Structure 1
């Protein structure tokens, strides 16, 4: 698939059903409380040009963080009062976390929302990075910035369902391992939505 084919596939992935996902959707026995209040957040699912086509920018969260230390994640975070919307939040957080100038990002659109176990309603913002991007990890939040090949994160066959004990129950979740990086949980679930749409 050429770079232009990959970009066309990303644009096509934005159409269709907008039904959201959840950290619990592989665990049908979990009953989510009705009327729960979720905090809006945005993450940037941004692709840049690599040696062999598009590559997705991901981060390894700092091992010193209180929440999700050492996990693989998209740049992004909760929507603040000063953010116009979740897209603005994703772009602002990406600038803070990895030094990506919002002016370098062509926003293609958004994917379906994802509810997390931590009470956020996350909107993945799909984008293309213009020109060369040299990441600058924010020392307090990000241990590493790396990229994943387009073909890896958009191929449903590379995703697996695994499980572990969580709060006394067996919890199932998606993973999409990449070399030394264990991509799982919310990040893998949102990528699985993208993979399903690109491959359909």
Structure 2
């Protein structure tokens, strides 16, 4: 069995484990959530592709012109539209639009429990394997497409907790920097949940 096959099996096992929903407020139990808040459903695609040594996770750097999370590291994905087949359909559609990933090149392995963001989204991470494809960034949304080795995102030791002032309070969050890419916030939190399951 190859390393990539071992890693794919580790993902399958991780998705069979039970887990709780996560949120951007996990590390900040004293945070006051807006009363009567209405969360918008979204789906993101955590797609693992064959790399030089095992699997790589595809991530994007968002355009600095976007309203939500400009310039941040993110999975391809977005809000669920009326014509989507739920969060999985949204993740596949957005990955095709944002990075040119054909849906027929994607093998869905499963989903993680939803993650609530500070911007009012309830995001379902869709974990998948993907075949090679010609990645093309949608210029209005994506500034850059890059890959991170499985060994980095799957290792809980790669994640650390940092903090900054946000809306008058100190907010703590996970980070998992990789080279020049500062993976943090919701993306790091969802990956940390996956890494925790893989490590079981």
With normalisation by structure 1, the TM-score equals 0.97
2:145 alignment counterpart: 145
Could you list the per-position Cα deviations for residues 37-81 of structure 1 after superposition, in whole angstroms to 9, with x for gaps in the alignment?
211000000000001000000000011222211100000000001
- SS of 1:70's partner is coil
Aligned residues: 199
Q: Give the whole-Å Cα distance in 2 for the aligned partners of 1:124 and 1:66.
A: 21
With normalisation by structure 2, the TM-score equals 0.97
1:93 alignment counterpart: 94
- SS of 2:15's partner is coil
1:163 alignment counterpart: 163
User: Offset at 1:196?
Assistant: 0.4
Provide runs of 4+ in structure 1 moved above 3 Å: none
Matching of residue 79 in structure 1 with residue 77 in structure 2: no
Provide the aligned C-alpha RMSD in A. 1.1
User: Offset at 1:174?
Assistant: 0.1
1:187 alignment counterpart: 187
Q: Give the whole-Å Cα distance in 1 for the aligned partners of 2:112 and 2:158.
A: 20
User: Offset at 1:15?
Assistant: 1.7
User: Offset at 1:33?
Assistant: 4.2
Segments of structure 1 that go 5 or more residues without pairing to the other structure are none
1:27 alignment counterpart: 28
User: Offset at 1:4?
Assistant: 1.3
Q: Give the whole-Å Cα distance in 2 for the aligned partners of 1:56 and 1:102.
A: 16
User: Offset at 1:19?
Assistant: 1.1
- SS of 1:182's partner is coil
1:49 alignment counterpart: 50
Q: Which runs of structure 2 are paired with 1:96-107 in the superposition (5 Å)?
A: 96-107=97-108
- SS of 1:195's partner is helix
Segments of structure 2 that go 5 or more residues without pairing to the other structure are none
- SS of 1:94's partner is helix
